[in-house]
């Protein structure tokens, strides 16, 4: 028999998870890992700051993004126009706020929406198998080899007459294929697990098994994909808008601001630098959160950099 002192000596260097009498849930374990990851806090605080700025940033500004100050056309940053003005007197600060809002909305919708599509299609293909699986894999492979940029270019004329909401569905429609393949492979493995076999034996229908058992078990992958997809969607929208195939005037996004300011980057750098800096900061923050979340869910996915 070990006395209390001996037990204390044995458990002195034991991790908290082992010493705890109650099993630690996966959610608490991931939360604990995230709290101890500095880059998660850097990215999370960065996203929080940029989101609050996008929501409330126009409140202290005297100019709307459609206003024209004809007395200060092409003016440098000042107390009157914090980010300067464009060639026709548009307030760059107000336009940057509005463009950031549009880019954030697109990223926050496209990332999760593409992950949801990937989860459903990948789970159906992996669980049902047969000709469903072969047909879905064929569609995935076809979409992966199609040059999405050229498709966007071809559809740009149609998008010009539509709302920018159409761009959300277009980006989501080309952002789910790789994760769908991953979910399909995971589902094929889950299909042979005992709890799935037990559910089938009890007569649970296919769609209920996918909804209650398959998707919850791959949800961590989908959350990571959705988080990382936010930054990717913002970059995709910015790239398309930069080349004139995404957001169209009179709407404003970070891509349209970068496109309008690139020609004057050397002579009037405020037209380009401020939207570019905001874009880099936003995408970097989202990437840090997604990267930290991936390592928290699967510590073996990469070398710990903290």
Best CA proximity match to 235, nearest among 127, 106, 116? 106
SS percent in the chain: helix, strand, coil, step 5:
70, 0, 25
Residues 275-291, mean pLDDT to the nearest whole number: 91
User: Does residue 4 belong to any structural domain of this protein?
Assistant: no
Exposure letters 226-256 (e unless 16+ CB within 10 A, then b) = bbbbbbbbbbbbbebbbeebbbbeeebbbbb
Q: Does residue 30 carry a pLDDT above 50?
A: yes
Peptide bond just before 250 cis, omega within 30 deg: yes
Task: Judge whether 18 lies within some domain.
Answer: no
Residue 271 pLDDT = 86
Range with lowest mean pLDDT among 78-87, 106-115, 247-256, 297-306: 297-306
The residue-averaged pLDDT of 279-295 equals 89
Model confidence pLDDT, tens digit, residues 221-264: 898 889 888 988 898 888 888 877 778 777 888 888 888 888 77
Which CATH number belongs to the domain containing residue 179 in this structure? 1.10.3720.10
Is residue 119 in a domain?
Answer: yes
Give dist(CA 151, CA 138) in Å, integer. Answer: 19
91: in domain: no
Which structure tokens are listed for 107? 């990223």
CB 182 within 8 A of CB 117: no
Between CA 142 and CA 188 the distance in angstroms is: 21
Determine the length of the chain: 306
Q: Average pLDDT over the chain, rounded to whole?
A: 82
Residue 21: per-residue pLDDT: 52
* Tens digit of each residue's pLDDT (9 = 90 or more) over 119-162: 999 999 999 888 988 999 999 988 888 777 777 777 766 666 66
More confident residue, 62 or 280: 280
Residue 241 within a domain = yes
DSSP letter string, 228-243: HHHHHHHHHHHHHHHT
Question: Is position 13 within any domain?
Answer: no
Alpha-carbon gap, residue 275 to 247, rounded angstroms: 15
pLDDT, tens digit, 9 for 90 and up, residues 4-26: 444 444 444 444 444 445 666 66
Number of domains observed in the structure of the chain: 1
- The angle formed by the CA atoms of residues 113, 144 and 240, to the nearest 5 degrees, is 65
Find the domain containing 126 and state its range: 27-75+96-301
What is residue 244's three-state secondary structure? coil
Q: For residue 22, tell me if it sits in a domain.
A: no
114 closest CA partner among 164, 166, 165, 171: 171
pLDDT digits over 147-158, tens only? 777 777 777 666
Is residue 11, in this structure, part of any structural domain at all? no
Under 8 Å between Cβ of 51 and 303: no
């Amino acid at each position: 028999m070990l006395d209390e002192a001996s037990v204390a000596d044995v458990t002195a260097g034991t991790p908290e998870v082992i010493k705890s009498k109650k099993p630690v849930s996966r959610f608490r374990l991931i939360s604990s890992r995230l709290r101890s990851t500095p880059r998660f806090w850097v990215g999370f605080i960065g996203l929080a700051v940029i989101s609050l700025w996008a929501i409330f940033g126009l409140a202290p500004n005297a100019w709307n993004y459609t206003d024209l100050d004809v007395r200060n056309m092409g003016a440098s940053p000042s107390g009157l126009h914090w980010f300067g003005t464009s060639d026709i007197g548009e307030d760059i600060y107000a336009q940057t706020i509005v463009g950031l809002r549009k880019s954030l909305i697109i990223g926050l919708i496209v990332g999760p929406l593409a992950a949801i599509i990937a989860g459903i299609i990948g789970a159906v293909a992996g669980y049902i198998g047969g000709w469903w699986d072969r047909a879905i894999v064929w569609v995935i492979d076809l979409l992966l080899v199609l040059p999405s940029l050229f498709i966007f270019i071809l559809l740009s004329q149609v998008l010009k007459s539509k709302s920018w909401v159409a761009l959300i569905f277009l980006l989501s429609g080309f952002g789910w294929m790789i994760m769908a393949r991953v979910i399909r492979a995971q589902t094929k493995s889950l299909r042979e697990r005992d709890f799935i076999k037990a559910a089938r034996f009890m007569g649970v229908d296919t769609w209920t098994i996918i909804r209650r058992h398959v998707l919850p078990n791959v949800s961590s992958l989908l959350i990571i994909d959705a988080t990382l997809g936010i930054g990717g969607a913002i970059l995709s929208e910015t790239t398309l808008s930069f080349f004139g195939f995404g957001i169209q005037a009179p709407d404003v996004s970070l891509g349209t601001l970068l496109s309008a300011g690139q020609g004057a980057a050397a002579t009037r750098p405020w037209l380009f630098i401020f939207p570019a800096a905001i874009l880099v900061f936003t995408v970097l923050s989202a990437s840090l959160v997604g990267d930290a979340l991936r390592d928290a869910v699967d510590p073996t996915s990469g070398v710990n950099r903290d």
